[in-house]
Amino acid sequence: MLNKTFKKLGLGLGALAIFTGCATTAPIEEPDVVIENALTKDPGSIAATTNMDFTFKEAESGGSGTVSVTVDEKSNLSDPNNLQSESSMQVSADITIPEGESTGNIKVDAALDLSMIGKDIYGSLTQLDISGDAEGIEEVNAMLPLFVGPYMNETVHLPLAKFEEIAQMADPATAPPVDFTALESYANDGLRQDLADAKAIVVASDNGVEKIKTASGASVPAYQYDINFDAEGFKTFVRQANETLQFVTTEELDAAFAQESGDVSFGGVVDALNQAFDIKVWIGQEDYHLYKMEFNSDLASLKTAAEAFGELTEADQAFFESGEFDMSVVVESEPIDDFTVEVPADEDVIDLGPLLDLALQGAAAGAAMDTTGGAAMTDEEFEAMMDSMDLGDLEGMEGLEDLQL
Protein backbone atom coordinates (compact mmCIF):
# COMPACT_ATOMS: atom_id res chain seq x y z
CA MET A 1 0.00 0.00 0.00
CA LEU A 2 2.78 2.39 1.00
CA ASN A 3 4.70 1.35 -2.11
CA LYS A 4 1.79 2.34 -4.37
CA THR A 5 1.47 5.66 -2.59
CA PHE A 6 5.15 6.46 -3.21
CA LYS A 7 4.77 5.47 -6.88
CA LYS A 8 1.81 7.80 -7.32
CA LEU A 9 3.67 10.58 -5.52
CA GLY A 10 6.71 10.01 -7.71
CA LEU A 11 4.64 10.16 -10.90
CA GLY A 12 2.94 13.33 -9.70
CA LEU A 13 6.22 15.03 -8.81
CA GLY A 14 7.71 13.94 -12.13
CA ALA A 15 4.80 15.43 -14.07
CA LEU A 16 5.07 18.63 -12.01
CA ALA A 17 8.80 18.83 -12.74
CA ILE A 18 8.20 18.39 -16.47
CA PHE A 19 5.44 21.02 -16.46
CA THR A 20 7.42 23.61 -14.52
CA GLY A 21 10.55 22.88 -16.53
CA CYS A 22 8.71 23.53 -19.81
CA ALA A 23 7.14 26.67 -18.44
CA THR A 24 10.45 28.20 -17.37
CA THR A 25 12.72 27.37 -20.33
CA ALA A 26 12.74 31.10 -21.16
CA PRO A 27 12.82 33.22 -17.99
CA ILE A 28 10.44 36.16 -17.73
CA GLU A 29 12.34 39.42 -18.26
CA GLU A 30 11.60 42.98 -17.25
CA PRO A 31 9.54 44.89 -19.84
CA ASP A 32 12.11 47.65 -20.35
CA VAL A 33 14.77 45.01 -21.10
CA VAL A 34 12.49 43.31 -23.61
CA ILE A 35 11.69 46.61 -25.38
CA GLU A 36 15.39 47.52 -25.57
CA ASN A 37 16.33 44.11 -26.97
CA ALA A 38 13.52 44.26 -29.53
CA LEU A 39 14.65 47.69 -30.73
CA THR A 40 18.34 46.83 -31.00
CA LYS A 41 17.94 43.32 -32.43
CA ASP A 42 19.42 42.79 -35.91
CA PRO A 43 16.23 42.66 -38.04
CA GLY A 44 17.67 40.29 -40.67
CA SER A 45 15.02 39.16 -43.17
CA ILE A 46 11.31 39.13 -42.41
CA ALA A 47 7.99 38.32 -44.02
CA ALA A 48 5.16 40.63 -42.99
CA THR A 49 1.48 41.24 -43.66
CA THR A 50 -0.08 44.60 -42.90
CA ASN A 51 -3.85 45.15 -42.79
CA MET A 52 -5.20 48.69 -42.51
CA ASP A 53 -8.91 49.42 -42.15
CA PHE A 54 -10.52 52.84 -41.84
CA THR A 55 -14.21 53.73 -41.55
CA PHE A 56 -15.70 57.18 -41.17
CA LYS A 57 -19.09 58.88 -41.21
CA GLU A 58 -20.19 62.47 -40.85
CA ALA A 59 -23.76 62.38 -39.57
CA GLU A 60 -24.75 65.95 -40.46
CA SER A 61 -23.73 65.80 -44.15
CA GLY A 62 -24.15 62.06 -44.69
CA GLY A 63 -20.64 61.57 -46.01
CA SER A 64 -19.13 58.17 -45.22
CA GLY A 65 -16.55 55.71 -46.38
CA THR A 66 -14.43 52.64 -45.81
CA VAL A 67 -10.84 52.15 -46.92
CA SER A 68 -8.93 48.87 -46.66
CA VAL A 69 -5.26 48.32 -47.49
CA THR A 70 -3.42 44.98 -47.42
CA VAL A 71 0.33 44.69 -47.96
CA ASP A 72 2.25 41.40 -48.16
CA GLU A 73 5.98 41.98 -48.01
CA LYS A 74 9.33 40.24 -47.75
CA SER A 75 12.29 42.38 -46.66
CA ASN A 76 16.00 41.71 -46.35
CA LEU A 77 17.20 44.26 -43.78
CA SER A 78 20.57 42.72 -42.98
CA ASP A 79 22.53 45.39 -44.90
CA PRO A 80 21.38 48.91 -43.90
CA ASN A 81 23.03 50.37 -47.01
CA ASN A 82 21.38 47.96 -49.44
CA LEU A 83 17.86 47.22 -48.25
CA GLN A 84 15.89 44.84 -50.42
CA SER A 85 12.18 44.13 -50.41
CA GLU A 86 9.35 42.93 -52.58
CA SER A 87 5.68 43.50 -51.82
CA SER A 88 2.18 43.40 -53.21
CA MET A 89 -0.45 45.94 -52.18
CA GLN A 90 -4.21 45.86 -52.56
CA VAL A 91 -6.41 48.89 -51.91
CA SER A 92 -10.21 49.04 -51.73
CA ALA A 93 -12.22 52.17 -51.06
CA ASP A 94 -15.97 52.78 -50.93
CA ILE A 95 -16.79 56.45 -50.38
CA THR A 96 -20.06 58.39 -50.43
CA ILE A 97 -19.81 62.10 -51.20
CA PRO A 98 -22.97 63.90 -50.01
CA GLU A 99 -22.51 67.19 -51.84
CA GLY A 100 -20.27 69.02 -54.27
CA GLU A 101 -19.19 68.45 -57.87
CA SER A 102 -18.94 64.66 -57.49
CA THR A 103 -22.02 63.84 -55.41
CA GLY A 104 -22.64 60.10 -55.14
CA ASN A 105 -20.74 56.89 -54.52
CA ILE A 106 -17.20 56.06 -55.64
CA LYS A 107 -15.59 52.61 -55.44
CA VAL A 108 -11.91 52.05 -56.16
CA ASP A 109 -10.03 48.75 -56.31
CA ALA A 110 -6.32 48.84 -57.07
CA ALA A 111 -3.34 46.50 -56.87
CA LEU A 112 0.36 47.31 -57.06
CA ASP A 113 3.54 45.23 -56.99
CA LEU A 114 6.67 46.92 -55.65
CA SER A 115 10.28 45.91 -55.21
CA MET A 116 13.20 47.88 -53.84
CA ILE A 117 16.90 47.26 -54.28
CA GLY A 118 19.00 49.87 -52.52
CA LYS A 119 17.95 53.20 -54.03
CA ASP A 120 16.03 51.73 -56.96
CA ILE A 121 12.28 51.13 -56.87
CA TYR A 122 10.42 49.02 -59.41
CA GLY A 123 6.64 49.20 -59.50
CA SER A 124 3.87 47.61 -61.54
CA LEU A 125 0.22 48.66 -61.42
CA THR A 126 -1.73 45.44 -61.93
CA GLN A 127 -5.28 46.63 -61.23
CA LEU A 128 -7.20 49.90 -61.24
CA ASP A 129 -11.00 49.73 -61.29
CA ILE A 130 -13.15 52.79 -60.58
CA SER A 131 -16.94 52.51 -60.40
CA GLY A 132 -19.98 54.13 -58.80
CA ASP A 133 -22.65 56.68 -59.57
CA ALA A 134 -20.77 59.83 -58.56
CA GLU A 135 -20.62 62.57 -61.15
CA GLY A 136 -17.52 62.39 -63.33
CA ILE A 137 -16.90 58.63 -63.00
CA GLU A 138 -17.57 58.01 -66.69
CA GLU A 139 -15.15 60.75 -67.71
CA VAL A 140 -12.44 59.36 -65.42
CA ASN A 141 -12.85 55.85 -66.83
CA ALA A 142 -12.66 57.26 -70.37
CA MET A 143 -9.28 58.86 -69.54
CA LEU A 144 -7.75 55.84 -67.76
CA PRO A 145 -6.72 53.97 -70.96
CA LEU A 146 -5.01 57.13 -72.19
CA PHE A 147 -2.97 57.96 -69.11
CA VAL A 148 -2.74 54.64 -67.26
CA GLY A 149 -3.19 52.09 -70.05
CA PRO A 150 0.42 52.19 -71.33
CA TYR A 151 1.70 51.40 -67.84
CA MET A 152 -0.72 48.68 -66.72
CA ASN A 153 1.20 45.48 -65.89
CA GLU A 154 4.43 47.18 -66.98
CA THR A 155 7.44 47.55 -64.69
CA VAL A 156 8.39 51.19 -64.06
CA HIS A 157 11.79 52.13 -62.62
CA LEU A 158 12.10 55.04 -60.17
CA PRO A 159 15.73 55.83 -59.20
CA LEU A 160 15.51 57.44 -55.74
CA ALA A 161 18.96 58.96 -56.17
CA LYS A 162 17.48 61.31 -58.79
CA PHE A 163 14.85 62.57 -56.35
CA GLU A 164 17.61 63.28 -53.84
CA GLU A 165 19.49 65.32 -56.45
CA ILE A 166 16.34 67.30 -57.27
CA ALA A 167 15.75 68.02 -53.57
CA GLN A 168 19.28 69.35 -53.25
CA MET A 169 18.46 72.01 -55.86
CA ALA A 170 15.96 73.69 -53.51
CA ASP A 171 16.61 77.23 -52.32
CA PRO A 172 18.65 76.85 -49.07
CA ALA A 173 16.88 79.92 -47.65
CA THR A 174 13.48 78.20 -47.72
CA ALA A 175 14.42 74.51 -47.70
CA PRO A 176 17.82 73.77 -46.19
CA PRO A 177 19.52 70.89 -48.05
CA VAL A 178 19.20 67.45 -46.46
CA ASP A 179 21.99 64.89 -46.40
CA PHE A 180 19.91 61.98 -47.70
CA THR A 181 22.77 59.52 -47.35
CA ALA A 182 23.13 60.33 -43.64
CA LEU A 183 19.35 60.30 -43.19
CA GLU A 184 18.99 56.89 -44.84
CA SER A 185 21.89 55.44 -42.86
CA TYR A 186 20.43 56.76 -39.59
CA ALA A 187 16.91 55.53 -40.35
CA ASN A 188 18.18 52.04 -41.14
CA ASP A 189 20.77 51.73 -38.40
CA GLY A 190 21.04 54.39 -35.67
CA LEU A 191 17.40 55.30 -35.09
CA ARG A 192 16.40 52.14 -33.25
CA GLN A 193 19.45 52.32 -30.98
CA ASP A 194 18.69 55.95 -30.09
CA LEU A 195 15.06 55.08 -29.32
CA ALA A 196 16.29 52.34 -26.99
CA ASP A 197 18.92 54.51 -25.29
CA ALA A 198 16.44 57.34 -24.73
CA LYS A 199 13.75 54.98 -23.38
CA ALA A 200 11.25 56.84 -25.53
CA ILE A 201 8.93 53.81 -25.65
CA VAL A 202 7.56 52.54 -22.35
CA VAL A 203 5.25 49.72 -21.30
CA ALA A 204 1.87 50.98 -20.10
CA SER A 205 0.49 47.50 -19.38
CA ASP A 206 2.34 44.18 -19.07
CA ASN A 207 -0.15 41.50 -20.10
CA GLY A 208 2.13 38.52 -19.61
CA VAL A 209 3.21 35.87 -22.12
CA GLU A 210 0.87 34.31 -24.65
CA LYS A 211 1.23 31.98 -27.64
CA ILE A 212 0.60 33.49 -31.06
CA LYS A 213 0.38 31.78 -34.44
CA THR A 214 2.62 32.96 -37.26
CA ALA A 215 1.73 32.89 -40.96
CA SER A 216 3.87 29.77 -41.40
CA GLY A 217 1.88 27.99 -38.69
CA ALA A 218 4.43 28.16 -35.88
CA SER A 219 3.26 28.72 -32.31
CA VAL A 220 5.51 31.29 -30.60
CA PRO A 221 5.50 32.47 -26.96
CA ALA A 222 5.48 36.27 -26.91
CA TYR A 223 5.39 39.09 -24.39
CA GLN A 224 2.21 41.11 -24.90
CA TYR A 225 2.44 44.77 -23.94
CA ASP A 226 0.40 47.93 -24.32
CA ILE A 227 2.95 50.67 -25.02
CA ASN A 228 3.10 54.46 -24.74
CA PHE A 229 5.53 57.19 -25.70
CA ASP A 230 7.44 58.90 -22.89
CA ALA A 231 7.65 62.70 -23.26
CA GLU A 232 11.08 63.14 -21.63
CA GLY A 233 12.39 60.07 -23.41
CA PHE A 234 11.20 61.44 -26.73
CA LYS A 235 12.92 64.75 -26.04
CA THR A 236 16.15 62.85 -25.45
CA PHE A 237 15.63 60.87 -28.65
CA VAL A 238 15.04 64.03 -30.70
CA ARG A 239 18.21 65.55 -29.28
CA GLN A 240 20.23 62.44 -30.12
CA ALA A 241 18.82 62.29 -33.64
CA ASN A 242 19.55 65.98 -34.20
CA GLU A 243 23.16 65.53 -33.08
CA THR A 244 23.57 63.04 -35.92
CA LEU A 245 21.50 64.73 -38.62
CA GLN A 246 21.99 68.41 -37.69
CA PHE A 247 18.54 69.56 -38.82
CA VAL A 248 18.66 72.58 -36.49
CA THR A 249 21.12 74.06 -34.02
CA THR A 250 21.06 73.01 -30.37
CA GLU A 251 19.86 76.50 -29.43
CA GLU A 252 16.93 76.30 -31.87
CA LEU A 253 15.95 72.90 -30.51
CA ASP A 254 16.09 74.11 -26.91
CA ALA A 255 13.88 77.07 -27.84
CA ALA A 256 11.35 74.77 -29.53
CA PHE A 257 11.16 72.53 -26.46
CA ALA A 258 10.75 75.53 -24.15
CA GLN A 259 8.08 77.23 -26.26
CA GLU A 260 4.46 76.82 -25.29
CA SER A 261 1.41 78.18 -27.09
CA GLY A 262 -1.60 78.23 -24.83
CA ASP A 263 -2.00 74.70 -23.50
CA VAL A 264 0.28 73.22 -26.18
CA SER A 265 3.72 71.91 -25.29
CA PHE A 266 5.96 69.10 -26.48
CA GLY A 267 4.88 66.98 -23.53
CA GLY A 268 1.26 67.79 -24.31
CA VAL A 269 1.69 66.59 -27.90
CA VAL A 270 3.17 63.29 -26.73
CA ASP A 271 0.35 62.85 -24.19
CA ALA A 272 -2.19 63.52 -26.95
CA LEU A 273 -0.60 60.82 -29.12
CA ASN A 274 -0.90 58.37 -26.26
CA GLN A 275 -4.57 59.29 -25.88
CA ALA A 276 -5.28 59.07 -29.62
CA PHE A 277 -3.77 55.64 -30.31
CA ASP A 278 -3.99 52.32 -28.51
CA ILE A 279 -0.80 50.43 -29.41
CA LYS A 280 -0.20 46.76 -28.60
CA VAL A 281 2.89 44.67 -29.37
CA TRP A 282 3.79 40.99 -29.23
CA ILE A 283 7.55 40.41 -28.82
CA GLY A 284 9.09 36.95 -29.03
CA GLN A 285 10.06 35.65 -25.61
CA GLU A 286 13.06 33.76 -26.99
CA ASP A 287 14.22 35.87 -29.97
CA TYR A 288 12.83 39.40 -29.25
CA HIS A 289 11.31 39.54 -32.73
CA LEU A 290 8.31 41.86 -33.08
CA TYR A 291 5.77 39.29 -34.23
CA LYS A 292 2.72 41.49 -34.11
CA MET A 293 1.73 45.12 -33.65
CA GLU A 294 -1.71 46.72 -33.46
CA PHE A 295 -2.66 50.39 -33.77
CA ASN A 296 -6.26 51.25 -32.95
CA SER A 297 -8.12 54.52 -32.67
CA ASP A 298 -11.68 55.81 -32.67
CA LEU A 299 -13.49 59.12 -32.47
CA ALA A 300 -13.70 59.08 -28.66
CA SER A 301 -9.91 58.65 -28.43
CA LEU A 302 -9.31 61.44 -30.92
CA LYS A 303 -11.65 63.71 -28.95
CA THR A 304 -9.71 63.06 -25.74
CA ALA A 305 -6.48 63.81 -27.61
CA ALA A 306 -7.91 67.03 -29.07
CA GLU A 307 -9.02 68.19 -25.62
CA ALA A 308 -5.38 67.98 -24.52
CA PHE A 309 -4.72 70.99 -26.77
CA GLY A 310 -7.40 73.12 -25.15
CA GLU A 311 -11.14 73.65 -25.08
CA LEU A 312 -12.97 72.44 -28.17
CA THR A 313 -15.00 74.82 -30.32
CA GLU A 314 -18.72 74.24 -30.93
CA ALA A 315 -17.93 72.98 -34.43
CA ASP A 316 -15.38 70.52 -33.00
CA GLN A 317 -17.86 69.31 -30.40
CA ALA A 318 -20.52 68.78 -33.05
CA PHE A 319 -18.12 66.77 -35.20
CA PHE A 320 -17.01 64.51 -32.36
CA GLU A 321 -20.55 63.98 -31.10
CA SER A 322 -22.21 63.23 -34.45
CA GLY A 323 -19.46 61.59 -36.46
CA GLU A 324 -17.95 58.12 -36.53
CA PHE A 325 -14.36 57.06 -37.05
CA ASP A 326 -12.51 53.81 -36.50
CA MET A 327 -8.98 52.90 -37.45
CA SER A 328 -7.25 49.53 -37.17
CA VAL A 329 -3.73 48.71 -38.34
CA VAL A 330 -2.36 45.21 -37.73
CA VAL A 331 1.17 44.19 -38.71
CA GLU A 332 2.18 40.52 -38.38
CA SER A 333 5.69 39.32 -39.21
CA GLU A 334 8.15 36.50 -38.68
CA PRO A 335 11.85 35.90 -39.41
CA ILE A 336 12.76 34.15 -42.69
CA ASP A 337 15.96 33.09 -44.43
CA ASP A 338 17.87 35.83 -46.23
CA PHE A 339 16.89 36.34 -49.85
CA THR A 340 17.87 38.55 -52.78
CA VAL A 341 15.56 40.57 -55.02
CA GLU A 342 16.33 40.11 -58.70
CA VAL A 343 16.84 43.23 -60.82
CA PRO A 344 14.42 43.25 -63.78
CA ALA A 345 16.02 43.08 -67.22
CA ASP A 346 16.42 46.46 -68.93
CA GLU A 347 14.23 45.48 -71.85
CA ASP A 348 11.35 44.74 -69.45
CA VAL A 349 11.47 48.12 -67.70
CA ILE A 350 10.14 51.63 -68.41
CA ASP A 351 12.91 53.78 -66.96
CA LEU A 352 11.78 57.16 -65.64
CA GLY A 353 15.40 58.22 -65.06
CA PRO A 354 15.55 60.39 -68.23
CA LEU A 355 12.43 62.29 -67.14
CA LEU A 356 14.02 62.94 -63.76
CA ASP A 357 17.23 64.05 -65.51
CA LEU A 358 15.13 66.61 -67.37
CA ALA A 359 13.68 67.78 -64.06
CA LEU A 360 17.22 68.07 -62.71
CA GLN A 361 18.25 70.21 -65.65
CA GLY A 362 15.23 72.43 -65.12
CA ALA A 363 16.00 72.73 -61.42
CA ALA A 364 19.60 73.63 -62.17
CA ALA A 365 18.50 76.27 -64.66
CA GLY A 366 16.02 77.68 -62.16
CA ALA A 367 18.68 77.79 -59.45
CA ALA A 368 20.92 79.77 -61.80
CA MET A 369 18.22 82.38 -62.37
CA ASP A 370 17.97 85.53 -60.26
CA THR A 371 15.46 84.57 -57.52
CA THR A 372 15.93 87.76 -55.49
CA GLY A 373 13.24 89.74 -57.26
CA GLY A 374 15.22 90.70 -60.35
CA ALA A 375 13.86 91.02 -63.86
CA ALA A 376 12.16 88.04 -65.52
CA MET A 377 14.06 85.99 -68.10
CA THR A 378 14.17 87.42 -71.59
CA ASP A 379 12.98 85.33 -74.54
CA GLU A 380 16.59 84.84 -75.62
CA GLU A 381 17.61 83.62 -72.15
CA PHE A 382 14.65 81.20 -72.01
CA GLU A 383 15.49 79.76 -75.46
CA ALA A 384 19.13 79.37 -74.47
CA MET A 385 18.09 77.50 -71.33
CA MET A 386 15.85 75.14 -73.32
CA ASP A 387 18.57 74.53 -75.89
CA SER A 388 20.93 73.55 -73.07
CA MET A 389 18.62 70.75 -71.93
CA ASP A 390 19.33 67.30 -73.33
CA LEU A 391 15.93 65.99 -74.45
CA GLY A 392 17.35 63.22 -76.61
CA ASP A 393 17.22 60.57 -73.88
CA LEU A 394 13.42 60.88 -73.72
CA GLU A 395 13.13 59.44 -77.20
CA GLY A 396 14.54 56.17 -75.96
CA MET A 397 12.16 55.71 -73.05
CA GLU A 398 10.32 52.54 -73.90
CA GLY A 399 6.60 52.87 -73.30
CA LEU A 400 6.40 56.67 -73.24
CA GLU A 401 5.87 56.82 -76.98
CA ASP A 402 2.46 55.20 -76.37
CA LEU A 403 1.35 58.07 -74.13
CA GLN A 404 -0.66 60.49 -76.29
CA LEU A 405 -1.36 63.86 -74.73
The pLDDT, as a whole number, for residue 81 is: 78
Would you list the DSSP string of 71-84? EEEEEE-S-TTS-E
Residues 35 and 59 in one domain: yes
Strands (E), 139-192: 155-159
Tell me the average pLDDT across 206-220: 94
* Poorest-pLDDT segment among 24-33, 186-195, 241-250, 333-342: 24-33
Q: Assess whether 211 and 275 both reside in one domain.
A: yes
- Rounded to whole angstroms, the Cα distance separating 212 from 46 reads 17
* Residues 391, 320 share a domain: no
85 sits in which H/E element: strand 84-97
Domain membership flag for residue 5: no
Same domain, yes or no: 297 and 394: no
Pick the last residue of a domain from 330, 348, 366. 348
pLDDT tens string 154-170 = 999 998 887 777 666 66
Residues 82, 222, single domain; the answer is yes
Q: What is the mean pLDDT of residues 238-261?
A: 82
DSSP one-letter code for 148: T
Residue 236 lies in a domain: yes
State how far the alpha carbon of 373 is from the alpha carbons of 108, 168, 177, 369, 396, in Å: 45, 22, 22, 10, 38
Query: How much is the average pLDDT of 368-373?
Result: 51
Give me the pLDDT at residue 378, please.
63
The model carries a pTM of 0.79
Q: Characterize 355-376 residue by residue with b for buried, 16 or more Cβ atoms within 10 angstroms of its Cβ, and e for exposed.
A: ebbebbbebebeeeeeeeeeee
pLDDT of residue 181 exceeding 80: no
33 lies in a domain?
A: yes
Answer whether residue 32 is part of any domain: yes
Residues 145 and 85 in one domain: yes
Specify whether 285 is located in the same domain as 378.
Answer: no
Q: Is residue 34 part of a domain?
A: yes
pLDDT for residue 54? 95
For residue 124, CA distances in Å to 127, 273, 348, 403 come to: 9, 35, 11, 17
371 and 305 within one domain? no
Sign, Cα dihedral of 201, 276, 65, 316: negative
Q: Which of 5-9, 226-230, 264-268, 370-374 has the lowest mean pLDDT?
A: 5-9
Query: Is 208 inside any structural domain?
Result: yes
pLDDT value at residue 24: 40
Domain boundary, last residue among 332, 348, 364: 348
The answer to whether residue 2 sits within a structural domain is no
Average the pLDDT over each of 85-94, 213-222, 375-384 and give the range with the smallest value: 375-384
pLDDT value for 42: 86
pLDDT of residue 19: 37
User: Could you tell me if 351 and 157 are in contact, meaning their C-beta atoms sit under 8 angstroms apart?
Assistant: yes
**Percentage of the chain surpassing pLDDT 70?**
76
One domain for residues 44 and 92? yes
Q: Is the pLDDT of residue 225 over 60?
A: yes
| Residues 100 and 113 both lie in one domain | yes
* 233 & 365 share domain: no
DSSP symbol at 187: I
More confident residue, 381 or 404: 381
Residue 139, domain extent: 28-348
Task: Label residue 178 by pLDDT band (50, 70, 90).
Answer: low
> Given a cut of 80, is residue 348 above it in pLDDT?
yes
- pLDDT, average across residues 54-58: 89
- Considering only CA atoms, which of 56, 21, 372, 40 is closest in space to residue 192? 40
Give 286-340 pLDDT, tens digit per residue.
999 999 999 999 988 888 888 877 778 887 787 788 788 999 999 999 999 988 8
Q: Taking all residues of the chain, what is their mean pLDDT, rounded to a whole number? A: 81
How confident is the model over 193-221, as a mean pLDDT?
94
3-state secondary structure of 60: coil
Indicate if the pLDDT at residue 362 is higher than 80.
no
Q: Give the number of domains in the chain.
A: 2
- Provide the pLDDT confidence category of residue 277 given band limits of 50, 70 and 90: very high
Whether residues 180 and 135 share a domain: the answer is yes
Asked, for residue 81, whether it belongs to a domain, the answer is yes
Residue-wise pLDDT tens digits, 7-39 = 443 444 343 333 333 444 567 899 999 999 999
Q: What percent of the chain is modeled with pLDDT above 90?
A: 42
